[in-house]
Chains A and B, each alone.
Chain A
Amino acid sequence: DAKTTQPPSMDCAEGRAANLPCNHSTISGNEYVYWYRQIHSQGPQYIIHGLKNNETNEMASLIITEDRKSSTLILPHATLRDTAVYYCIVRVANAGNMLTFGGGTRLMVKP
Chain B
Amino acid sequence: GAGVSQTPSNKVTEKGKYVELRCDPISGHTALYWYRQSLGQGPEFLIYFQGTGAADDSGLPNDRFFAVRPEGSVSTLKIQRTERGDSAVYLCASSPRTGGTGELFFGEGSRLTVL
B: residues with CB less than 8 A from A are 4, 31, 33, 35, 41-45, 48, 50, 55-56, 91, 93, 95, 98-109
A: residues with CB less than 8 A from B are 32, 34, 41-46, 49, 85, 87, 93-104
Query: In the complex the two chains form, what is the Cα distance from A97 to B102 in whole Å?
Result: 7
Determine how close the nearest CB of chain B comes to the CB of A53; give it in whole angstroms. Answer: 13
Contact of B108 with A42 in the complex, beta carbons under 8 Å: yes
Interface of A is mostly: loop
Known A46-B103, A93-B101: A104·B42 in contact at CB below 8 Å: yes
Query: In the complex the two chains form, what is the Cα distance from A26 to B34 in whole Å?
Result: 27
Query: In the complex the two chains form, what is the Cα distance from A45 to B41 in whole Å?
Result: 16
Determine how close the nearest CB of chain A comes to the CB of B61; give it in whole angstroms. Answer: 16
Q: Which of chain A's residues has its CB closest to B3's CB?
A: A43
